[in-house]
Every structure is written in C-alpha cells, then in structure tokens.
Chain A
Amino acid sequence: MPYLASANPEIQRPVSTSLIVLSVLLALFLNGLPWEGIWLMLRPDFVAVVMLYWCTHKPLRVGIGLSWAVGILADVADASLFGQHALAYTLLAFGGVALHHRLKMFDLRQQTTQVFGILALTYAVYALVHWQVNGYVVWPYFLGCLTSTLLWAPLSIMFQSVRRMRVDRE
C-alpha cells in the first residue's frame, strides 16, 4: 500500500485478532492483581493504556464500541457502577480514534504528551462520576494517570516487537 505510506510504518503492520484479545485479557489480569495501599494508587490502568494503543494503531478494528464493552467488563471486575468505566473508556477510545492520524507523525516522546491528555480526561471522567454519586474525590487516585502515561512508551515498544516478530515469522 505505497499510497498509505507514512512517517510511522508501525501503523500499517498487520495484527492478529488473537493478539488484541490476549492483550486485553492480560491487561484485565494485571489490573486484577492484589494491589494494595500506595501501590493501588500508583497502579497504572493497564486496560486503558492497552485500549488506547489499539484505538490509535488499529482504529478500524478496535473502536469505541469495543472499548465500551471492555469498560463494562472492567465495571464488573471492579464492582464500580455500571457504565463508570464504560463511559471513561468510550471517551478514551474517541480520543484515540481522533488522534490516530496525528500519532503517525509523532515519535514516542511526543506521543506520550498527547496520550497524557487523553488519559487525564479518562481519569477525570471516572472521578467526576464518583464525585457525583458519592460526593467526594480521592485525590491520590490521579497518580495512576501519571503512571499510566509512563507505561505508554514501554508498552508501544513491546507491542512493536511482538508484532514485528509475528510478521517476520509469516
């Protein structure tokens, strides 16, 4: 597809459905580890970062609907209100899909700043819903937003190498 060639060839690399499913399941698993105390506050939202990765890299495969469904599963896993994660991840996915053109032009560091904005919005929406329903906000919760952002670069590199491996094998 020469007419689609861009600064970042990563976007065009094919990806198997099993990799997407596996990564989301793994993210749910990592979110589900028994984090406690300060580690719980510092825990990045693995599911959010993985969904954002797929939304920006494969917007036609993973979009708003799928993110919403994953959000519902996250709601069940975390016993949060139905729709709380789903709402946050819907906005996350929209941000990702809207950003995916721009992201092709950026290197990892520039991507990280963009990603921070989307994740901050996601976290803010989640906290806002909680504040509306329960009337208070736990501020250290937003620490997770920073660690999630920091996770973007290593995660991108990891997915890149995994996908490259698969392409080479084919």
Chain B
Amino acid sequence: MTDSTQSFQFFNRGPSPAVRLVFFVVLSLLLLFIDARYRYLESTRSALSVLVSPIQRLATLPGMLWQQAGDFFTTQRSLVDDNKSLHQRHEYDAAQLSQLQALQHENQQLRNLLVLPQRDEFTAQSAEIVYAERDVFKRRVLIDKGANANVQVGQVVMDDTGIVGQITRVYPWLAEVTLITEKDHVVPVQVLRNGLRTIVFGAGDTSQLSLRYMPISSDIQNGDLLVTSGIDGIYPPGIPVAKVVKIERDAAYPFARVTCLPVAGVDRHRHLLILSGLPKPPERPAEESAAQNLKTKQKK
C-alpha cells in the first residue's frame, strides 16, 4: 500500500493536531486520576495484559537461554562440590529441625495450659521470578503464578531466608511482587533480642531499609535481627526481615537514624515462596461506640 493518496487527504484530515493533543492529554489525565485515586481500572489492565504478555514472555527468552547455556556448561566438579555442601547443610538442618519440632510441641502444650490461641500454620506455594520490573522508579518483580494459581493481593512472599515482599497486583498468569525495599513499603517488625516493636520502611533508591521514629534512647544495637511481629495480620510472625547495620544517634534530632539490610536476597534469588492461608484477625472494636459510651457516662 502506498501513500499516493497523501496529497488528496489534504481536505479530509479530521480534527487538527492541536485538538487531538488536547483530547488525548485530557483523556490521559483522567485515566491517571482514576487509576491513582480509585484503582477502578484493574480489570481493564489485566484484560490488556493478555495482549502484552506474549511480548513480555518473549522478552524473557534471551535471558533464559543465557541461563540455560550457563547451566549446560556447569562442570562436574562444581556439581560435586555443591552436592557435598548441600548434604552437609541438610544434615545440620535436620538436626535443628528435630529440635525445633520438640520445641514446637512444647510450645503447643504450654499454650494449651495457658489457654492461649495456637499459632496458625501457613502453607506456601513456590513461584519463580519471570522478570524484574523495567522501571527505574520501582522495586518490583513479576512471578509466574497469578490468578490461575489462586494468588491473591496482599499475600506475603519470602525466600529461604526471609521476607522478600508482598503481592500487589494479580494478572491472569502473573503476579506483581512489591519488594520490601520499595520506597515507603512498610513491614511491622520486632527486635528479636528484646521484643521491641517497630516498623521498617523501604528506602527506595538503594537496597536498604530504615527504621524511622526510633527514640534516641531506644534499646537497639548493631547486628540486631528484626523479625515480623505479626501484629498487622498480614505478615506471619517470626520471619526474619532485616539486620541493623548502622545506627546514628544525633542529639540534635529526637529520633535515631537506623539503617538495616534485608536478610532475604531481595534482588538475588529466582525462586520464591508465596505464603497463603493466613487467618483474619478478629475485627477491630469500633472506636465510635467507645467514644459514645464515654459521652453517655459523662452526661450521667
């Protein structure tokens, strides 16, 4: 098809570029507003993702081929070494696991005696990172399990050592994981050493985390391990999140600057675990009724 009709379209061009510009700019701004404020467009997004995902899948191929080529040329020697170290690791872990089981049993009995609710078990399914988000602004990865594997928004994602992130968006065959290092991503944690409760924030531009609003006098040390506190009902309790690496206490500021590094290989591993089946915490008691009670009491 040629463009020989170009000159004849002179009188039939439709609206001028300026009109189109204004129309599409307004349309974009409207979409931006709706998406940023109300998140109404998630279904449209997953419908359109069916169009785009073949290209995305294709784009992961070169990396996968590269990896497979690397796997192919792995030497016998390194495999034997790996096997040996894994065996050792397994024996060590098995010993620890049997101890842990004894402790778990004991804990269960103690909880029974004290009439405390039992700790809930959670199940996990494994997933593989398909690709990292190609956006400088974000720290997110996409994994190969989506709505087809019953993945839901809000589920927690971890690797073998600790928390990696949280699922923030689910596509038909993919799910988006926001890493804990994403700017302003929040995880409620506890210092393992003394049980101090706090909240850890992602720093965004580096792969670090920070504790904000820690009073200068608070008992926190270099090397302290932070584990999830489980108070929010989203993150299961007791999973390692980060290690404190630097504390700056400046008397001029009311809060100490605490820098932590994530325990999990947040941007290293390929295989992740999605935790599911966390129980819903009981509903928060309504604050209004409490306030009303107070008022009625005061009236009396």
Measured CB to CB, the residues of A under 8 A from B are 1, 3-4, 12, 14-17, 25, 28-36, 40-41, 43, 58, 60-61, 63-65, 68, 71-73, 76-84, 86-87, 90-91, 94, 97-98, 129-130, 133-134, 136, 138, 140-141, 144
**Interface pair B136/A82, CB less than 8 Å apart:** no
Minimal beta-carbon separation of B15 from chain A (angstroms)? 10
B-side interface mostly: helix
- Of all chain B residues, which has the CB nearest A87? B28
Count of A-B contacts judged by CB separation below 8 Å: 142
Q: Are B132 and A138 in contact (CB under 8 A)?
A: no
Q: Are A61 and B3 in contact (CB under 8 A)?
A: yes
The listed residue (B30, B32, B62, B136) touching A129 by CB distance below 8 A is: B32
Q: Which residues of A contact B45 (CB under 8 A)?
A: 76, 82
Binding site for A on B (CB under 8 A): 1-4, 6-7, 9, 13, 17-18, 20-21, 24-25, 27-32, 34-36, 41, 44-45, 48-49, 51-52, 55-56, 58-60, 62-63, 131-138, 140, 142, 169, 176, 183, 204-205
Contacts of A1 in B (CB 8 A): 4, 6-7
State A98–B18 Cα separation when bound (angstroms): 9
Residues A79 and B176 in contact, CB atoms below 8 Å apart: yes
Known: A64-B21, A82-B44. 11 other contacts (CB 8 A): A1-B7, A3-B7, A15-B3, A64-B20, A68-B24, A76-B51, A79-B176, A83-B35, A90-B25, A94-B21, A130-B137
Q: Is the CB of A32 within 8 A of B56?
A: yes
Asked if B6 and A60 make an inter-chain contact with CB atoms under 8 angstroms apart, the answer reads: yes
Cβ 8 A contact of A28, one of B17, B32, B55, B169: B55
| Complex: A86 Cα to B23 Cα, angstroms | 12
Instruction: Decide: A29 and B31 in contact? CB cutoff 8 A.
Output: no
A144, closest chain B residue (CB): B136
Q: Tell whether, in the assembled complex, residue B59 and residue A32 are in contact, meaning their CB atoms are under 8 Å apart.
A: yes
Establish whether residues B2 and A35, one from each chain, have CB atoms under 8 Å apart when the complex forms: no
- Dominant secondary structure at the A interface: helix
* Closest residue of B by beta carbon distance from A12: B3
- Say yes or no: B1 contacts A73, CB within 8 Å: no
**Which of chain A's residues have a CB closer than 8 A to the CB of B29?**
83, 87
In the assembled complex, how far is the CB of residue A53 from the closest CB belonging to chain B, in whole angstroms? 15
Cross-interface CB contact of A64 among B24, B36, B56, B134, cutoff 8 Å: B24
A84 to B27, CA, bound (A): 11
Give the residues in chain A near B56, CB-CB below 8 Å. Answer: 32, 77
In the complex, how many angstroms separate the beta carbon of A8 from the nearest chain B beta carbon?
Answer: 15
A12 to B3 CA separation, bound complex (whole angstroms) = 8
Partner of B63, one of A34, A40, A140: A34
Contact partners of A61 in chain B: CB under 8 A: 3
A68 and B3 in contact, given A34-B59, A35-B134, A43-B134 (Cβ under 8 angstroms) = no
